[in-house]
Amino acid sequence: MIGIIDYGMGNLGSVTNAFRFLELDAKIVTRKQEMDSCRALLLPGVGAFGDCMAHLVEHDFVEPITTWVDAGKPLMGICLGLQALFQSSEESPGVPGLGIFDGTVKKFDLPKELKVPQIGWNRMTEVKPDCPMFSEIDDESFFYLVHSYYVCPQDESIVAGRTEYGIPYCSSVWQDNVFATQFHPEKSQALGLRMLRNFWTWAEEQ
């Protein structure tokens, strides 16, 4: 069972529908006690970094998530759920993130012809082609993005995929039991569904 964390800011409908379409066991988790019956967690998110962290604190998910990761259990982050894994964000100065990864989140500073936020399809170059979540997904495949900020890991070794939008930036990370994407697999049609299925399979094998 995969637990989809509901802290008041996630794109729960589309993520839940994706797992239902794949006929994979997933449930919405609204309280930390419900995590006990899950073998993996998914942290979705849309909106602002500061609001995200405030909601995670309010719903008492911060310590349970970090404890989960420290215990080596599988976690997947999506969009804002990726950004929340880092220490801080330019979007919300002074607000600490989960700090699972060292680094910060920066806002795009691009030429006028490139609109911010980036909205639409863009390709991902696989930096770690051996990542289990990339199984049966071709390099340079397209995924759907909606974001104004991008993650800047201090440790480049966690970067699993890169995307180009005026600048090359990290669009997915993978280290040990944690995988996360800036793009939305649940909105990326067949390849996105394949990625979610890969995560479910990978989590089952851990």
CA distance 120 to 115: 11
- Omega of the bond leading into 117 within 30 degrees of 0 (cis): yes
Annotated active-site residue 79? The verdict is yes
Active site residue 186: yes
CATH code where residue 43 lies:
3.40.50.880
**Which residues face 161 on adjacent strands?**
126, 172
| pLDDT for position 11 | 74
- Which one is catalytic: 38, 91, 147, 184? 184
Q: Are 154 and 191 in contact (CB under 8 A)?
A: no
Name the residue range of residue 114's domain: 2-205
Q: Domain count of the chain?
A: 1
pLDDT at 153: 98
Among 79, 91, 131, 170, the active-site one is 79
Does residue 136 carry a catalytic annotation?
no
pTM value is 0.97
CA-to-CA dists, residue 70 to 4, 17, 146, angstroms: 19, 29, 30
Residue 55 neighbours by CB under 8 Å, 6+ apart: 7, 8, 9
CA distances from 132 to 35, 83, 94, 101, 143 (A): 23, 21, 35, 20, 17
Ordered per-residue pLDDT tens for the chain, 206 residues:
999 999 988 778 899 999 999 999 999 999 999 999 999 999 998 889 999 999 999 999 999 999 999 999 999 999 999 999 999 999 999 999 999 999 999 999 999 999 999 999 999 999 999 999 999 999 999 999 999 999 999 999 999 999 999 999 999 999 999 999 999 999 999 999 999 999 999 999 98
pLDDT at position 9, please?
Answer: 80
Residue tagged active-site, from 59, 131, 147, 186? 186
Listed in order, strand segments (DSSP E) in 47-154 are 75-78, 88-89, 103-107, 118-126, 141-147, 149-153
